Structure 1
Amino acid sequence: MMLGSQAEAQTPPPAPHVAKRPFQVTSPNGARADDYYWLRDDTRKDPAMLAYLAAENGYADARLAPLKPLQAKLYAETVAHIKQDDSSVPYAKNGYYYASRFAAGADYPLIERRKGAATAPATTMFDEPAMAKGHSFFALSDWAVSPDNAQVAWAEDTVGRRQYVLKIKDLATGAVRSDTIANAEPSVVWADDNRTILYVAKDPVTLRGYRVMAHVLGTAPAADALLYEEKDDTFQMGIARTADDRFICITVGSTVSDEQRCAPASNPSAFTVLAPRAREFRYTADHQGGRWIIRTNRAAKNYKLVTVTDADVAKGVTAWRDLTPASDSVFIERFKPFAGFVAIDQREGGNRMIRLLTDAGTSIPVKADEPAYRMALDVNEETATPWVRYTYGSLVTPTTTYEVNVKTGARRVLKVAPVPGYDPANYVTERVWATARDGTRVPVSIVYRKGLKRDGTAPLFQYAYGSYGMSTDPAVDPGRIGMLDRGVVYAIAHIRGGQEMGRGWYDDGHLLKKRNSFTDFIDVTRFLVAQKYVAKDRVAAMGGSAGGLLMGAVANMAPQDYKAIVAQVPFVDVVTTMLDASIPLTTFEYDEWGNPAQKAYYDYMLSYSPYDNVAAKAYPALYVGTGLWDSQVQYYEPTKWVAKLRELKTGANPLVFRVNMEAGHGGKSGRFERFRQNAEWQAFVLDQLGVAGAAS
């Protein structure tokens, strides 16, 4: 029975409301009233704030209680589509083969290695189930083995706030060293001496990675040497070795600018800048075979590859020579240099594909057979090989790991991701093109169970992200199968703000063109309704983080087009957040959203900010999720939004707010926990769409 109906199976208590406290958010362009600003507590200890979150969780429990059986069924169906004792494909590096392996029922994997051959006896490097014990949240992120294969350094998070702790252990004995480094990025690299670790330290207030430090084993972290500090707080930072392991490179980047400085891995003390930063100049460099290969937007909006020899690299960009031409239709996303060729990860026509380019200039595309798909370079640690490993998948085809031989063209399947109880032949995927209100053709990837009648009666679940130039690629999701089997059409709207159609696609969906992302999403919905794929009154939508901003904007702009909306960790208080440089990520994002200290950006952001545009009107049924320890989108953004919605929204459609009190941006950790959380909002959505029965 639908939660929005008058005859509910269980009557919930009244929705929680919270007190308003007058407050003015000041800016160079005026002040705004924010009666719920007090819900921000950076210590996360304020009793009144915590009481409100507890009340919201209690209300969500009560509101969703009638759906517990459906939630349990959806979770069971999802888990039934997961091979519980699964393993990754081993990959070779420096004489060892590495892989991860899940035991049946385990939330976390074992990470193992084998010496000399993929079939040799396994040694466990990380027993993640054991490491996670006693923690309500656990994430093992980046790890790196020393060049002599004797030690491993890794980054772990037991809070969910992405403030990682770096640790080191001896792989022969398993003994963990005492030198522990706190508040770091999950990025760690060994120098060739096997005793020096380079890592990125975070600013303690903004959590921005801003310093590259060198730690020598056996010394106190307080004595770590500073190798580089990034003063510009609009730049992010990373560190990595090159493909041939000869250099260690520090990368700093913003939305519109990059800079890379490298040093020999044998002596990573003095780093040399490859090309100085400049606005609207981006590049990423790697090294192989006595030359640098560089992906750059210099005279190439969609990026091209250039090369420069070691002898000429100091001459700067004037010595760069093209490997690929600039293109208006092909967008180069990534690349990997090998001995004798380069593997290129690129986009064309909305699809992501692989192309191999030999040193002799021969271009070899890797073909696909479906209309909407995703190829991506996989782990390729060994570069002195003719074999390139990549993955392929679609909304119908499970992720398949391949190797292709650049010399012979031979291709072999290494693994098809197992999806028990799933038959791809039962489903159909399409790539359709919706015309946006300004005439732009927007690609849409859709999937549905075979036998769908195009009579305008089916329910729709539509997803998008559409920010930061991040593209959303199709893939089989075990958690989605139950929805498809109930007759739901699933669609990915590849809206502007992503990069599916190239850099121009991104440019037309950020800064003062951000509204295109929102209207594209709405226009895709209306297209699918007009084409009778789905019913006008049976549409649900979902987005998270910046995609949650999309959901908030869509809810304000076109509430009548949606029956239900799921907004996970939504970025909904755009202006207030972007005015506060102390909040993690704010300064990085001026070139994404604009700096509201400038009136043009202030006014434009204010015109769409979901929190600022909540009004007294009927909204769709809303499921909102957040994590108390989120460092990306602070918990108080969705909390304030929900409070204001409770104050102003009209109509009987339900609004539930689920707060994970022990999680951050990605929700609770653990393989199965994610599906358990997802089952809750899936049950909510299916109930609202009127398809809450058993799968056919």
Structure 2
Amino acid sequence: MRPHAVTAPHGAERDDGYYWLRDDKRENPDVLAYLQAENAYADSVLAPLKGVQDRLYDEIVGRIKQDDSSVPYRERGWWYYSRFESGKDYPIHARRQDGDGVDALSIQQANDAGDFAGEQVLLDVNRLAEGKDYYQVGAWEVSQDNRLLAYAEDLNGRRQYTVRFIDLETGQTLPDAVAGVSPNLVWADDNKTLFYVENDPDTLLTKRVKKHVLGTPAGADAQVYEEQDDSFYMGVGRTRDDRFICIVVDSTVSNEMRCAPAADPREFTVLAPRERDVEYDADHLGDRWVIRTNADGATNFKLVTAPTGSTSRADWQDLVAHDEAVFIEDFALFDGFLAVSERSDALERIRLRKFDDSGADGSEEYVKADEPAYSMGLSANPESDSDWLRYGYTSLTTPATTYELNVKTGERRQLKQQPVPGYDPSQYVTERVWAPARDGSTRIPVTLVYRKGFQKDGTAPLLQYGYGSYGMSMDPGFSATSVSLLDRGVVYAIAHIRGGQEMGRKWYEDGKLLNKVNTFTDFIDVTDFLVKEGYAAPDRVAAYGGSAGGLLVGAVANMAPEKYDVILSQVPFVDVATTMLDPSIPLTTNEYDEWGNPEQKEFYDYIVRYSPYDNLEAKAYPAMFVGTGLWDSQVQYWEPAKYIARLRDLNTGERPVVFRTNMEAGHGGKSGRFRRFREQAEMYAFMLDQLGVADTP
């Protein structure tokens, strides 16, 4: 420990004896030696489990069709898709030209047969990643004339990308390069101008929109827009009909869009001026804007329209009215209908509103689902003149499936289901149950999956997952990695706790700012309910969360350590007060409306009350597996490093604590699909050992 005072503007002061573990440049030899020593200790603790880890890894990889490909989608006369080759970590992004007899199914059949005649490879990420410890392509965009490709690459996981360009007619990589950007790219109609978002080099906040003209030096790129308010993120995109390029700025509680004609993007006009607590996102088709917004008290959002030239909310007219029981998440515009992605009772659904020949609103219907708990959402639908809606469907027992539904005839066809060799969905059962919260009036939705034959006799091991922040809903989706747990008798549960948006906007509001503790107590109450109902043994429960979910399980470990045998925590946000007091750290300023600004005493006192790092104390803690990435830009590595250091000094228990730092990775872990499975197998082997689960499936 090395004394270090962390002060707040209102005079509060905390001594942070582990602050020395922070090294913004990742060069301090003492810090690097500490992290390497923790990795060496992790190696020694986990060495006896190497056989279990290898078996889990082999099982997981065995359920993956290694030469799989995505469902092709058509755009401007080409069919685009991504595919993998056996044994390789990274995708190949490719396309085929449209023509007679060419459609999504025929291309998939050719890919499955290994017939790549007529294919044009856009990016072979395996080749680009050769010789690199970390590599990721964050975004790629083809110009409107289909001749040029821009892509953004990251070499260390810190999400500072460099844009590079390829001439698709010659295959030549052009000399242009633009560094320090976010993975967010848009071509103008002149097919030589690329709009991109520049990051602040220190905070990594998206600060400026610039435009690069091919053949000119990046240092001469003109600035199009600069955001002065650090509580806003920024992005660029095209509207549905390709008529406009839009700059979008988003904070937790407000949005603003400014758009320019894609054919002449010199002047960007604000669609509606930003206003605190008014959120909106818009798309354009035909002669109108369609806008999703919470304006005028529409807590769960509604859809409105505005004429093409509108610049004021006064022009907005309701299209899909607000409903207190239905949360509108997204929408897609088509020439003959509108598709609305929404949720009610913690389940997703897609509403179709058809238009008659005059364009007036017509009948409505819903896309049907087949299971009691599932996830359904809009998929790639790049062409507005189609009668076919493409959507995705999955559940904890159903692998990801892509469907097309003909809105006129009602015909539904399955385009693809994620192949899972050796998996039989009939051997697994999914359930939706409701756990009572301690307030006596709130019911928390919980999605469960287990292997058929499971008995609710209170003896089973349980892995309970949660997130509960940013309004992000953790909908039930199939995971090939979880099957190995289910086959060993583990029950897997997703706790849809407050702070997410599964039950609408109020569900989110009741789990943020000065209501944040509800997120943690909901998770604990779900555990109590599942144990009481016989889904799990009281001494065989594991809790799992990552990033803000790491905050969740860290808080839970402090509040109810006796209820959990093992905590799994990846890239955890555990030092809330110190981080939120430092605006130089990425994400801090944008998240004042999520956690509260601790420069204000009311929020400081509340945050310190639950922050996992600040609430560690001398008592017995569960076994823990904590992971981080040295180059993480979302949650800096020193948060979990400090947390583990303090925990080791205070923990009076004897359960093992493992801290693993990926020295070449960022927030998402190592790059490459197989490397990530190796990491997950290591973590799951540790958990199974702590829960006393036999290694034999």
TM range (shorter): over 0.9
Distance (Å, rounded) in 1 between the aligned partners of 2:686 and 2:635: 23
Match of 1:279 in 2: 276
Match of 1:400 in 2: 401
- Indicate whether 1:476 and 2:458 are aligned: no
Match of 2:148 in 1: 151
Distance (Å, rounded) in 2 between the aligned partners of 1:555 and 1:601: 22
2:223 is paired with a residue of what secondary structure? Answer: strand
Do the aligned residues in 2 keep the contact of 1:70 with 1:692 (CA within 8 Å)? no
Distance (Å, rounded) in 1 between the aligned partners of 2:271 and 2:255: 10
Distance (Å, rounded) in 2 between the aligned partners of 1:605 and 1:507: 16
Within 5 A, what are the aligned runs for 1:16-165? 20-29=1-10, 30-116=12-98, 117-118=102-103, 119=107, 121-165=118-162
Aligned counterpart for 1:603 among listed residues 602, 605, 610: 605
Do the aligned residues in 2 keep the contact of 1:242 with 1:287 (CA within 8 Å)? yes
Match of 1:628 in 2: 630
After TM superposition, the runs of 4+ consecutive aligned structure 1 residues lying more than 6 A away are none
* Equivalent residue letter for 2:71: V
Match of 1:346 in 2: 342
- Indicate whether 1:268 and 2:265 are aligned: yes
Q: CA deviation at 1:50?
A: 0.7
Spell out, residue by residue over 1:277-324, the C-alpha distance to the aligned partner (whole angstroms, 9 max, x if none).
01110000000111100000012100011111225x13x111111111
Distance (Å, rounded) in 1 between the aligned partners of 2:694 and 2:459: 15
Q: CA deviation at 1:692?
A: 3.4
- Indicate whether 1:545 and 2:526 are aligned: no
Distance (Å, rounded) in 2 between the aligned partners of 1:241 and 1:685: 45
1:222 is paired with a residue of what secondary structure? Answer: helix
Aligned counterpart for 2:464 among listed residues 453, 462, 465: 462
Distance (Å, rounded) in 2 between the aligned partners of 1:527 and 1:328: 28
Name structure 1 gaps, 5 residues minimum.
1-19
Distance (Å, rounded) in 1 between the aligned partners of 2:251 and 2:337: 29
Q: Which moved more, 1:342-351 or 1:507-516?
A: 342-351
Match of 1:380 in 2: 381
Distance (Å, rounded) in 2 between the aligned partners of 1:454 and 1:612: 38
* Equivalent residue letter for 2:41: Y
* Equivalent residue letter for 1:638: P
Match of 1:14 in 2: none
* Equivalent residue letter for 1:472: M
Aligned counterpart for 1:309 among listed residues 302, 307, 310: 307
Distance (Å, rounded) in 2 between the aligned partners of 1:462 and 1:593: 24
Within 5 A, what are the aligned runs for 1:585-604? 585-604=587-606
Spell out, residue by residue over 1:194-231, the C-alpha distance to the aligned partner (whole angstroms, 9 max, x if none).
00000000011110011000110100111111110000
Q: CA deviation at 1:172?
A: 1.4
Distance (Å, rounded) in 2 between the aligned partners of 1:137 and 1:473: 29
Q: CA deviation at 1:614?
A: 0.4
Within 5 A, what are the aligned runs for 1:207-218? 207-218=204-215
* Equivalent residue letter for 2:384: T
Match of 1:614 in 2: 616
* Equivalent residue letter for 1:302: N
Do the aligned residues in 2 keep the contact of 1:387 with 1:404 (CA within 8 Å)? yes
Distance (Å, rounded) in 1 between the aligned partners of 2:13 and 2:546: 29
Distance (Å, rounded) in 2 between the aligned partners of 1:329 and 1:167: 46
Match of 1:575 in 2: 577
Q: CA deviation at 1:121?
A: 1.4
Do the aligned residues in 2 keep the contact of 1:471 with 1:499 (CA within 8 Å)? yes
1:452 is paired with a residue of what secondary structure? Answer: coil
Match of 2:113 in 1: none
Q: CA deviation at 1:358?
A: 1.7
Aligned counterpart for 1:449 among listed residues 432, 439, 451: 451
* Equivalent residue letter for 2:292: R
Match of 2:413 in 1: 412
1:177 is paired with a residue of what secondary structure? Answer: strand
Within 5 A, what are the aligned runs for 1:523-534? 523-534=525-536
TM-score for the superposition, normalised by structure 1: 0.96
Q: CA deviation at 1:177?
A: 1.2
Do the aligned residues in 2 keep the contact of 1:283 with 1:294 (CA within 8 Å)? yes
Q: CA deviation at 1:41?
A: 0.5
* Equivalent residue letter for 1:433: W
Query: Alignment length, in residue pairs?
Result: 674
Distance (Å, rounded) in 1 between the aligned partners of 2:631 and 2:662: 8
Aligned counterpart for 2:254 among listed residues 252, 257, 260: 257
Name structure 2 gaps, 5 residues minimum.
108-116, 356-360
Distance (Å, rounded) in 2 between the aligned partners of 1:435 and 1:484: 25
Q: Which moved more, 1:233-242 or 1:28-37?
A: 28-37
Spell out, residue by residue over 1:551-575, the C-alpha distance to the aligned partner (whole angstroms, 9 max, x if none).
1100000000000000100000000
2:20 is paired with a residue of what secondary structure? Answer: helix
Within 5 A, what are the aligned runs for 1:416-431? 416-431=417-432
1:361 is paired with a residue of what secondary structure? Answer: strand
Distance (Å, rounded) in 1 between the aligned partners of 2:353 and 2:200: 41
Q: Which moved more, 1:239-248 or 1:21-30?
A: 21-30
Distance (Å, rounded) in 1 between the aligned partners of 2:80 and 2:521: 45
Match of 2:114 in 1: none
Match of 1:13 in 2: none
- Percent same amino acid among aligned pairs? 61
Q: CA deviation at 1:405?
A: 1.2
Distance (Å, rounded) in 2 between the aligned partners of 1:224 and 1:409: 50
Within 5 A, what are the aligned runs for 1:295-306? 295-299=292-296, 300-306=298-304
Q: CA deviation at 1:361?
A: 3.0
Spell out, residue by residue over 1:321-356, the C-alpha distance to the aligned partner (whole angstroms, 9 max, x if none).
111111111101111111121111111110111111
* Equivalent residue letter for 2:4: F
- Indicate whether 1:329 and 2:325 are aligned: yes
TM-score for the superposition, normalised by structure 2: 0.96
Match of 1:365 in 2: 366
Q: Which moved more, 1:363-372 or 1:115-124?
A: 115-124
Distance (Å, rounded) in 2 between the aligned partners of 1:692 and 1:51: 36
Q: CA deviation at 1:191?
A: 0.2
Q: CA deviation at 1:420?
A: 0.7
Spell out, residue by residue over 1:598-644, the C-alpha distance to the aligned partner (whole angstroms, 9 max, x if none).
00000000000000000000000000000000000000000000000
- Indicate whether 1:186 and 2:165 are aligned: no
Do the aligned residues in 2 keep the contact of 1:683 with 1:692 (CA within 8 Å)? no
Distance (Å, rounded) in 2 between the aligned partners of 1:232 and 1:23: 30
Do the aligned residues in 2 keep the contact of 1:566 with 1:622 (CA within 8 Å)? yes
Match of 1:10 in 2: none
* Equivalent residue letter for 2:6: V
Distance (Å, rounded) in 1 between the aligned partners of 2:267 and 2:279: 23
Distance (Å, rounded) in 1 between the aligned partners of 2:598 and 2:249: 24
* Equivalent residue letter for 2:318: D
Distance (Å, rounded) in 1 between the aligned partners of 2:492 and 2:262: 48
